[in-house]
Structure 1
Amino acid sequence: MTRIAYICMDRGVPVWGRTGSSIHVQEVIRAFRALGADVELFAASADDDPPRDLAAVPVHCVPVAQEGPRAARERSAVAANRDLRAALEDEQPFDLVYERYSLWSFAGMDFAREAGISGVLEVNAPLIDQQAEYRGLVDRQGADRIAAQVFGASRVLVALSSAIADYLGRYRGTRGRVEIIPDGVNPDRFRLDCKPALPAAHRWSVGFVGSLKPWHGLGTLVDACARLHQVHPDTRLVVVGDGPERPRLAAQAADLGVSDAVLLTGSVPPHEVPGLLASMNAAVAPYPNLPTFYFSPLKIFEYMAAGLPVVASRIGQIPEVIRDGVHGLLCAPGDAAAVAAALCRLKEDPDLGARLGRAARAHVVQHYTWNHVASRILHLAGVASYPDRALPAESLSS
């Protein structure tokens, strides 16, 4: 049996949490196990209870300071590499070390290289730039040095999008080792016969699932749904998730006179998301026109697996996954009028919505499941004779 050490040393990604990042960790582990691998988890944040089907996964907690001055927290994260290395040595042998890249972690890839086993590093974002812009970064030079070290030590670098692949290409020695593997979905979580969690109340529901962050374009969504509501008063917006933008969204809805047509559910556990999606008639990913769009949006794949017609911004990876008019409707980023028009189309033409939803689910089931993702990772790592589950060509080139 293939033994995999899965590492997540980012305190901002609680491995048993509710965010998209946490779900990503859980689904990759779940898919590795479904393919017959034995997975041990090494994590900085594993405080919550695991999902029942992952309760048997051994978890090795590696403490990292989460309070105090930022510089002290950065030093604590670097020092945690000693504890991570010791934990890996105690639990070896492994056939593969698979790590979700975090700013200060390098012990996993160094351990894999020195042990002569495969080390695969999954890079989800240009973390140095992101940390500096949104949270603050004291030792940027140290973060750059560790990034070069860990990128150089890995056998394979998994980039979730072409923008991340381009970012990795800025580092010496990465050429030829970067593979683009987008996010995936577990179709079994989003069964078409799932019972809706919300009463229909004779309303046609537009939905969003995700954290309420500025880069998700939620102001555009509220504006678009207010326009839709003017034409079709029997519509509502259901926003599933929480975050710093929630007060602003509530205030915007009040200013536009649509508070009664906007439901903000707050954070919900992952097992409640399928029922909430089943309560929606269409789902939206209204990203603004960001200068660098590096996301592989998990919400897109979940909307599609739920059989929903999707309205999304034509930006980054999204047009590679959603073919306009075939799997969903694409709009210019940040264009509330275009989003409203697309939603009106779907409201007024139920057959169009049904056709797009069926095609969307069939597309992700064929090409974008977590089992596809895990099979490809194991094939690239060369740890066993797993098939190379090919993804669409435009999603693989780096």
Structure 2
Amino acid sequence: MQDDFKKEIVVVPNGADTQLFKPQPGSAEKRADLGLGQEERVIGFVGSFMPWHGLQDLVDAFEIVCQKDNSVRLLVIGGSRDQIGQLIEGNRDKRALKKIIFLGEIDYPLIPAYLDLCQVLVAPFNTKRDEGRRKLYDKYGFWWCPIKLFEYMAMARPVVVSDVGEITAYLDGA
């Protein structure tokens, strides 16, 4: 039995369904449906509104981006009505709020068509915003592998992510 356990271990990373997550046709119609002008560039985010997903950081950064470039919009996919409402309420003072499109939770197969509208996709993970798991992060670091990263890359778009844990390992050299 010891010989069986001497074999090399192979780690098989997560990935994306590249038949689903790929550049999509028909983005002009979707742009019109969302009220996006042809000249507007779109930054996209998909995910839940958990503290470590860094949505507050994204809104803060987007405020700065909008001060420099008024032709940018932020498309946020995910979050319940209550979560979206709380994020909006906590950022009422930000002028960029009117430039954010909140789609809420949508059916998974519809996500690629919306991501295709985006010129850049973001994953601003921030474990410092998750007080409930602070001790775990301090001990183990950022230990999970976000599927959204692979889905974003399958869309053939530039990806802006936090330099943490497994994300750094997967993008090393990219």
TM-score range, shorter chain: 0.7 to 0.9
Q: Retained in 2: the 8 A contact 1:239–1:263?
A: yes
CA gap 1:192/1:252 in 2 versus in 1, 3 angstroms: same
- Scaled by the length of structure 1, the TM-score of the pair is 0.36
Query: Is it true that 1:270 corresponds to 2:91 in the alignment?
Result: no
For 1:208, the equivalent position in structure 2 comes to: 45
Note the C-alpha offset of 1:181: 2.5
Q: Distance in 1 between matches of 2:114 and 2:8?
A: 39
How far is 1:207 from its partner? 0.6
- Give the secondary structure class of the aligned counterpart of 1:250: helix
User: Is the Cα contact below 8 Å between 1:285 and 1:313 reproduced in 2?
Assistant: yes
Report matched runs for 1:370-385 at 5 Å: none
The match for 2:133 is none
- TM-score scaled by length of structure 2: 0.78
Offset from partner CA, 1:342-391 (integer Å, 9 cap, x none)? xxxxxxxxxxxxxxxxxxxxxxxxxxxxxxxxxxxxxxxxxxxxxxxxxx
CA RMSD of aligned residues (A): 2.3
| 1:322 to 2:171 alignment | yes
Please name the residue that 2:77 is paired with.
240
Equivalent in the alignment of 1:225: 62
Q: Find 1:304's aligned residue among 143, 150, 153.
A: 153
Percent identity between the two aligned chains: 29
Secondary structure, in 3 states, of the residue corresponding to 2:106? coil
Partner of 1:18: none
CA contact (8 A) 2:23 2:112 kept: no
8 Å CA contact 1:286–1:311 kept in 2: the answer is yes
SS at match of 2:143: coil
Q: Spell out, residue by residue over 1:213-268, the C-alpha distance to the aligned partner (whole angstroms, 9 max, x if none).
A: 11101100001111000000111111001146423321244221222101110100
Contact 1:213 1:245 in 2 (8 A): no
2:115 alignment partner AA: L
* Aligned counterpart in structure 2 of residue 191 of structure 1, from 15, 22, 40: 22
Structure 2 residue identity aligned to 1:188: Q
Who wins on radius of gyration, i.e. which is larger? 1
Instruction: Please give the residue correspondences for 1:311-390 in structure 2 after superposition, counting only pairs within 5 Å.
Output: 311-323=160-172, 326=174
1:195 Cα deviation after fit: 2.6
Aligned-partner Cα distance in 2 for 1:187–1:198: 23
Kindly provide the CA deviation profile for residues 38-75 of structure 1, in whole angstroms up to 9, marking residues without a partner as x: xxxxxxxxxxxxxxxxxxxxxxxxxxxxxxxxxxxxxx
- Structure scoring higher RCO (CA < 8 A, sep ≥ 6) equals 2
For the pair 1:284 / 2:117, whether they are aligned, the reply is no
Report deviation, 1:193: 4.0
Which residues in structure 2 correspond to 1:1-398 (within 5 Å)?
180-196=11-27, 197-199=30-32, 200-201=36-37, 202-243=39-80, 245-290=83-128, 291=137, 292-323=141-172, 326=174
Q: Is the 8 A contact 1:195 1:278 kept in 2?
A: no
Query: Alpha-carbon deviations, 1:146-193, whole Å to 9, x = none?
Result: xxxxxxxxxxxxxxxxxxxxxxxxxxxx99897533211111112324
What are the ranges of 5 or more consecutive residues in structure 2 without an aligned counterpart?
Answer: 129-136
Asked whether the equivalents of residues 24 and 113 of structure 2 are also in contact (C-alpha less than 8 Å), the reply is: no
Letter matched to residue 170 of structure 2: V
Q: Distance in 1 between matches of 2:56 and 2:48?
A: 13
Supply the distance in 1 between the matched residues of 2:105 and 2:24 (Cα, whole angstroms). Answer: 24
Structure 1 residues 246, 180: CA separation in 2 closer, same or farther (over 3 Å shift)? farther
Provide structure 1 residue ranges, at least 5 long, that are not aligned to the other structure: 1-173, 327-398
